Amino acid sequence: MNDSGDIGGYCCRLVVTVLFGSQQKRQRTKNVSPKRLPLKMNFQSHVDEREEIQKVTRDSIIDASVDTLSSSVADTSSITKTDDTLTSAGENIIPIKNTDEAGGHDGGMQQHDGRVGRQKFQNVHLEDLIDMIKNAENTRVRALEDLDKIISEKEALQAEINALEMKLAETDARIRVAAQEKIKTEERLLVLEKEKSLLEDAIEDLEFRLSVAQKDVSELTKVKTECRTLWEKVENLQELLDNATEQANQAVKILEKNHELRRKVEELEAALEHVNASKVSSNKSEQYNERLHQKIKLLEERLKMSEQEIQSHVQLYRESVKEFESTLNKLEERDKREDLGQPADDMPWEFWSRVLLSIDGWLLEKKISSDDAKLLREMAWKRDGRIRDTYLACKGMHDQEAVGMFLKLVSSPTRRGLNIVHIAAEMAPVAKVGGLGDVVSGLSKALQRKGHLVEIVLPKYDCMEYERITDLKALDVDIQSYFDGQLFKNKIWVGTVEGLPVYFIEPHHPAKLFWRGQLYGEHDDFKRFSFFSRAALELLYQAGKRPDIIHCHDWQTAFVAPLYWEIYSTRGLNSARICFTCHNFEYQGTTSASELSSCGLDVHHLKRPDRMQDNSAHDRINPTKGAIVYSNIVTTVSPTYAQEVRTAEGGHGLHETLNTHAKKFVGILNGIDTDAWNPSTDDFLRFQYNADDLKGKADNKDSLRKLLKLSSSEPSQPMVGCITRLVPQKGVHLIRHAIYRTLELGGQFLLLGSSPVPHIQREFEGIAKQFQSHPDVRLLLKYDEALSHSIYAACDMFIVPSIFEPCGLTQMIAMRYGAVPIVRRTGGLNDTVFDVDDDTIPFQYRNGFTFLTPNEEGLNGAMERAFDCYKNRSEIWQQFVQKVMRIDFSWDSSAEQYEELYQKAVARARAAATRV
């Protein structure tokens, strides 16, 4: 019994130990909650965990318990160990946590000796213990099976969770895409609504223009009949004059004028026949009707001019007949006189400009009187040979001696032509930022060639091209002008620029108004240019000048108009009519009303809706609006742009003012200086060429490729050029697109220009860096006059994708150099470039590729057509290049229109003065 009890006690302790170990394993297993497992757990970890639990359980129960129990049963009959041995064996049993003691929380364990165990389990049989062990093993097996099921279910749940997460992600993505599509759809609807509104307005406008065009065509028929009647009258007059002029040279001159008149009438009849022929094809499209209306209007104006000219000639002829006999007697006397007053045509205009500046300098320095200065100016203006000889004889003399010699020439010559003074912020080439500088110099030279005395007044900037000024000198006089409640001195400099007399005003103002290193872009531009406008008028006033026309440009000199009529006309400077030209209505110079008082204008008097109050912000004043109101003539730089700015979309807030003053508002297309832009004489080019010999153009293309390190492997590879300021107006997004599209079409692209807008400049700097080593693209983000000439000469095509363009000069210059333009139909681009594939345009006027919608699709269509023609119809392209090079974009025609406006304004002023 004792031995049996010892064995039973040992087995019980062993069972308890095994069960306690299994319980700890199960407790550790339970502590791993499925809720805390990561969602994307590797399922292999569950299998490893299960195998580890099974291994530990087998090792702790089967290996440690079953083997021990089996060995104990086999040796039951031979057990002879003493109680001490059993006791010592019992002392090695694994300790069990004592939960009955109060201090059990400190983890203390109590050992039970063998004797106590034998007493406690004396009645336990070995078979019962084995059953208990088997039951425990069965329980463990079931627990493992349950664990397998739980792990399997967990794996299934994990798979479902992963699937749900994927579906959730897909749903989120679809929701985001749907939201974006909804936003795009809403934006597209807004755009379509706006386009619909614009199209409706355009249709109404076209219908109105069509009706007006039809009326004008009917009136032209009447005009033609009247012209024929006039022609018959002219022929009768010619017969009378032929009989009268057989006895005198004067009559022969009149006959020559009559022949010239006949030629003009024949040209007029041809123009009328062309208009009638054009009328037959006017039903082809509404677009051509619009252009036809513009041409008919232009022809009507020319007919009126011709009618006036005919009438004036007829009047002259009648007077000549009546005075014929007296003229014969006077001719005999004049033949005997010494011809001292004949014009000296052998001297350049620069010479006469220097003479005029010398005379004005003597006047300002009070060395001659204003009356003597006026007479001497008129003699120089007429290019009197005596002035030439005297000036050349005075070389090297002191001013006092020269003045004495000139005063001997004073007489009373008959005045002819007009005295025109341009007051501007720019003039090419000495102070140029944009097209304004080209207009001032080009128009002035054209008017000078027509016999008018033209003078220019500019600020004296520190950043001017001084080397382009001839005979620059400071006069020994200071002109004082009012500003900010006090008088400031202004130093006056004179010099000639390309043969034109120019006055430069240098203010002695503490703010150093024009010593800023740039023309525009200063925080106080309003102050700078309002000061200059007042000082310029003060110069005219103190110099005793009596100009016929004062022509101011853009908002920088728009102050001249109200200053002239509000202040200087009451002081005696009242001979002139004011002409104001706005080159871009986007820039109007608006500012706080209080700023206007600095130059001496009455703010309360002028801040009114009908004067200078801004139409959009009533607490501000608008210099551009003031010039429109106060000027006698208002012009802009193309006929189409003149129509666009009279609409709410294009007028930038001034459309109502322009419509109110529509009778004095006209659009005159700018010209270009054909002397400066001439590929046959251009000194900037390595190879000169013309329309009859284009070899030099190909040579320039090859030379520029080498200079810019572009690919020359394909000499005929088309080259596209773009020279522009990178501002939103110029369509920078389309320029950017054109770079990439040119590469796709197999061409090369050159861009010359920079941007005053920082983010646009940075964007194109990034593009330039991207293509810095590309064989077919170069972006040159700077201003370079010489390089611009080379690009015009080298390029086959020239792109101008402007959003709006008042006139634009680059497309005209490009054609002058044989680069075919690709432009958007807006403003002056619409007046100078006509699509080669437009059958509604007469063939002789087609000279480029155009598109209407300012987007990538529109630009693509024009570029693709241009590239197709260049690559697949080389002979037609060659003829095309020669055709565009022969188009006349000179200032002559535009100068004639300005001349007519000037003369009408002066005539009305003189008529009004006579009535008074």
CA separation for the pair 721, 704 (Å, rounded): 12
Q: What is the DSSP letter of 422?
A: E
Token pair, residue 659, equals: 């419509």
- Predicted confidence band at 238 (pLDDT cuts at 50, 70, 90)? low
pLDDT at residue number 473: 95
Whether the per-residue pLDDT at 294 is higher than 80: the answer is no
Does residue 295 register a pLDDT over 70?
Answer: no
Q: What is the pLDDT of residue 540?
A: 97
For 44, the token pair is 């292999």
DSSP per-residue letters across 374-417: HHHHHHHHTTBHHHHHHHHHTTTS-HHHHHHHHHTT---PPP-S
Residue 38's identity, in one-letter code, is: P
The mean-pLDDT minimum among 144-158, 396-410, 421-435 falls in 396-410
Tell me if residue 797 falls in helix, strand or coil.
strand
Residues 105, 99: Cα–Cα separation, whole Å: 8
Q: Which residues, in sequence order, are bridge partners of residue 592?
A: 620
Overall average pLDDT of the 5-11 stretch:
49
Q: What's the rounded mean pLDDT across residues 63-87?
A: 41
The tens digit of pLDDT for each residue in 428-485 reads: 999 998 889 999 999 999 999 998 999 999 999 999 999 999 999 999 999 999 999 9
- With a CB cutoff of 8 Å and minimum separation 6, the contacts of 883 are 847
Report which of residues 52 and 510 the model is more confident about. Answer: 510
Please say if the pLDDT value at position 169 is more than 50: yes
Farthest CA pair distance, the chain: 181
Sign of torsion over alpha carbons 138, 140, 141, 147: positive
Share of the chain above pLDDT 90, in %: 52
The residue-averaged pLDDT of 771-797 equals 95
What does the CA dihedral 425, 426, 432, 434 come to, rounded to 10 degrees? 80
Burial class (CB in 10 A: 0-12, 13-18, 19+), 345: exposed
pTM of the predicted model as reported, rounded to 2 decimal places: 0.60
Q: Residue 499 has what DSSP assignment? A: T
Q: How much of the chain exceeds pLDDT 70, in percent? A: 71
d(CA 250, CA 261): 17
| Type of residue found at 146 | D
What strand order describes the sheet that includes 719-723? 777-780, 748-752, 719-723, 797-800, 820-824, 849-851
Looking at residue 265, its pLDDT comes to 56
Instruction: Between 56 and 204, name the one with better pLDDT.
Output: 204
Residue 60 CB: number of other CB atoms within 10 A?
A: 18
Backbone angle region of 741, left / alpha / beta, with phi > 0 → left and psi within -120 to 50 → alpha: alpha
The phi-psi region of residue 652 (left if phi > 0; otherwise alpha if psi is between -120 and 50; otherwise beta) is left
- Rg (the chain; Cα; Å): 49
Q: Which amino acid is at 159?
A: A
Model confidence pLDDT, tens digit, residues 647-699: 999 999 999 999 999 999 999 999 998 988 999 999 999 999 999 999 999 99
Q: Which residue has the higher pLDDT, 803 or 68?
A: 803
pLDDT at position 76 = 42
| The two structure tokens encoding residue 806 | 């008042």
- Give pLDDT tens digits for 579-632: 999 999 999 999 999 999 999 999 999 999 999 999 999 999 999 999 999 999
What SS3 class is residue 808? coil
Contact predicate 353/500, CB 8 Å: yes
Query: What are the residues facing 500 on neighbouring strands?
Result: 497
pLDDT class of 810 with cuts at 50, 70, 90: very high
**Ordered DSSP codes for 708-746:** HT---S-TT--EEEEE---SGGG-HHHHHHHHHHHHHTT
Rounded to the nearest 5°, which phi and psi values hold at 710? Answer: -95, 160
Rounded Cα–Cα distance for residues 898 and 889 (Å): 16
Tokens of 643: 């129509």
864's tokens: 């693709």
